[in-house]
Structure 1
Amino acid sequence: MIGDGKDGEIYKVADDKVVKYFFKEETHQRELEAMQIGQTSSIMPRLYEFGDNYIVMEFVKGISLARHMKRQGQIDEDMTKKILFVLDEFKRLGFTRWDTEVRHMLMNEEGEFKVIDHKRAFTSDSPVPTKLFKGMKKFGLTGEFLEHVKNLNPELHYAWKKLK
């Protein structure tokens, strides 16, 4: 077992694969739907197999955005671009939740993000990434991130300030 939570447990079954076992069928179905729709995106772990209450998916080798922020103590403009790409992908995929927690954004060995835990992709609706901001605030990096957003996408920055 490499992880567990209130919704299930995750086991590494090969160097490049994990199986996520779900306690509830409803949670399994919601996550599976998002994973299937997300297979056209580079931010989604590859889906290999699924069955009753389980999903076999890509094991992402790397670290979470939370751990990266803790180690580095900063977010640069390049990292901000990658985060904004993730948020844009959520919209492109048709997810209504355009947000994620910093611990669910995993940076692979190539420095690109893969996002896990999509059970609320279609059940939450937030135009401002409040969970992302909350995670950044924990490391004192929300202001730095928003300054980069202001430089990269002033319209988005304005919209977030207006709605926050």
Structure 2
Amino acid sequence: MEVLFYVVPLLMIGTAVFLLTRVVRRAREVRSAWGSGLTAEARCLRTYTTTSGGGETMVSTTLHHVYEFTTRDGRSVRFEESNGPATVVEGDIVTVHYVAERPERATAHAPARGKLAAESGCLVAFLGVFITGCVIFMVVVHVFFSTADAFFP
């Protein structure tokens, strides 16, 4: 039974570490795309929304855009990006920023380094606190079970 108090927090920590790496990786990709200086005009091919939640939880809606552009070397690239502006609809032309080596990791978000740092920093801080809380919980449970064995043989 006490194994459950270790396995569940470890699974939660694993999920948080996975999310942490995704947040940091995407922030680095976007920052690199903005810093590369390479831009292109892209056409929005499709927009769609996804929803999650419901029932007793809050419903969350995410707007997705699918863009296509041509790189400077003539390669046609299509990519999808979430949380874009709701004012961009199918057929609109937008400016995308990309890195020459990985144009499929482009972004249509306008450069906003402070906003990116704040968003990423808050998520990293939250996930760090969450992971720390899980570790503290496991330590407390370990101490409780090890002292309980001494008092209740």
Give the TM-score of the pair, scaled to structure 1: 0.20
Between 1 and 2, higher relative CO (CA 8 Å, sep ≥ 6) is seen in: 2
> Which of these two proteins has the greater Rg computed from alpha carbons?
2
Q: TM-score, normalised by structure 2?
A: 0.21
